[in-house]
Amino acid sequence: MKRIAGWICSFSLSVLTCFAAEAQAGAYAEVSGVFGVATGQTNGIAEAPLHVGTRLGPGSIIRIAPGGAADIYLGSELGVIRLTQSTMVTIEQLQRTATNSEAYLHLQFGTILGNGANVRLGSRYQVKTDTGIAAIGSAAFRLHAEGYFVVIDGKAQFAHVPTNGEPRVHMLKAPPAVYFSPTEGVKPAPKGLVKEVMTQSKAKLGHSGGSNP
């Protein structure tokens, strides 16, 4: 079976590590909704428009144009993520077995929302950004590439890697909703922010050219 080598970063409660990993080809994500222009590219193959039903394996790069959005199904355990306009994400690793799942995503820029994860003990669901790594539990969340992380319900962690200083792991647990920012740490989420995230998460996406999310 073909394998795809890459660098994966992980963290425990206090330690951030990066290691060389080989992701098994075979597991894939699937596009479940698209609005506007969204494209995918895998292993150097020409970039192509995404449609409902498009499969995306490890190594895939997903780009969402201004005004666009896409829902990506990661499996029954990890649920669906929504990528909003002007977002770029790489699926660095994606594996599933009968007992656990592993997903490592790299959010280069833009925003990811998630509302359906039910991560079991032994599984890993992590999103790398320029400022740190988010570890998702069974959480409804929104994460920006700049490191702004909102958890509406459930549990998650964010390992913040500052420009100067040691990495620090922050726990986010809701309800009530909380958010993390690189400058403020973990704070209660204002009602307006909670409403904004929930509205973004609940909007329906159809096929390309569907209703505006």
Neighbouring C-beta atoms of residue 195, cutoff 10 Å:
11
- Contact residues for 12 (Cβ-Cβ < 8 A; gap 6+): none
Dihedral-angle region of residue 209 (phi above 0 means left; psi in -120 to 50 means alpha; beta otherwise) = left
Residue 26: what pLDDT? 58
Per-residue pLDDT of the chain (213 residues; tens, 9 = 90+): 333 334 445 554 344 444 444 444 458 899 999 999 999 998 777 889 999 999 998 999 999 999 999 999 998 888 899 999 999 999 999 887 777 888 899 999 999 999 867 787 778 889 999 899 999 988 899 999 999 999 999 999 999 988 887 889 999 999 999 999 999 999 999 999 999 999 888 877 764 433 344
Torsions phi, psi of 68, nearest 5? Answer: -105, 175
In this prediction the pTM is 0.81
Residue 8: what pLDDT? 41
Identify whether the C-beta of residue 8 lies closer than 8 Å to the C-beta of residue 18. Answer: yes
Identify whether the C-beta of residue 5 lies closer than 8 Å to the C-beta of residue 20. Answer: yes
Residue 152: what pLDDT? 94
Where do the domains of the chain lie, and which CATH numbers do they carry? 27-202 (2.60.120.1440)
